[in-house]
Amino acid sequence: MTDYAIGDIQGCYERLRDVLDLVDFSPSRDRLWVAGDIINRGPSSLEALRYVESLGDSAVVVLGNHDLHLLAVAFGGHSLKRKDTLADILDAPDHGKLFDWLRQQNLCVHDADRNFVMVHAGLPHIWSVEQAVGYSREVESVIRGPDAEEYFTHMYGNQPERWQDSLAGMDRWRMITNYFTRMRFIAEDGTLELAAKESADSAPDGFAPWFRFPRKDRVKVVFGHWAALEGQTDSERYIGLDTGCVWGGKLTLMNLDTEEKIHCDC
């Protein structure tokens, strides 16, 4: 069995199948680790979502901001945005099954044997791996439970800006969600800057890319979300897999044991 991790698919279903064909991927013997944003902005969101869902136990998935956005439209009363390509999912006869499956996915996955964490946006330096997994489980239980509608109704927002253990309710859930699915730039005290989306070298004053802050552990982090990085973090510990397929870049697949990267032009 070979485990592969892939960056943001964002509805680029044909390119997904192309890059999997390059390694002769078979769900009967291999697993696909998906670093979030299966859907949106690309041309075939429904097909991409159906395919990953069909992999069953052969897929390990963390939720990205676009995946959560679909659920926020479905359960939280939010409207589609102008550039969204999600209408085909909302209109699909099997949309309920797909929504239920998405709600069962994680925000953070820790592979202790390989000593890596997979998240969508990043792992803030202010949290240990154990804390991060615990906080992710808090929000996952909300998404799966009776408070899901409240969560998706009030999910959006940039406040609070910084983690505090005393946070409770929606403020706590939103803060955890923003770290895992929206973070790019962060301050030393954990304050998030969520407006800037440019390259790592364009950090606003007082902020830096989240992966520039030292950690006490030696865990590796596999993530997506930040297409402007083009996969470059200047560190072997932080492996960026969003290489901008939906923007005409590449779709990147990585062997989790050898860390060999395989690319498909988009």
Q: Is 148 exposed, middle or buried (0-12, 13-18, 19+ CB in 10 A)?
A: middle
Range of the domain at 15: 3-265
Average pLDDT, integer, range 123-133:
98
Give percent of the chain above pLDDT 70: 100
Q: What is the pLDDT of residues 71-114, one digit of tens each?
A: 999 999 999 999 999 999 999 999 999 999 999 999 999 999 99
β-pairing, 59-61 vs 192-193, is unpaired
Q: Do the bridges between strand 208-209 and strand 185-186 make them parallel or antiparallel, or are there none, so unpaired? A: antiparallel
The span from the CA of 33 to the CA of 188, in Å, is 30
Which CATH number characterizes residue 162's domain?
Answer: 3.60.21.10
pLDDT for the residue 204? 95
Q: What is the pLDDT of residue 37?
A: 98
Total structural domains within the chain: 1
**Pairing label, strands 59-61, 31-34:** parallel
Handedness of CA 67, 65, 180, 252 (dihedral sign): positive
The mean pLDDT value for 192-219 works out to 95
State the average pLDDT for the chain: 97
Instruction: Answer with the residue of higher pLDDT: 201 or 140.
Output: 140
- In the prediction, which pLDDT does 157 show? 97
3-state class of 176 per DSSP? helix
* Burial zone of 189 (CB within 10 Å; 0-12 exposed, 13-18 middle, 19+ buried): exposed
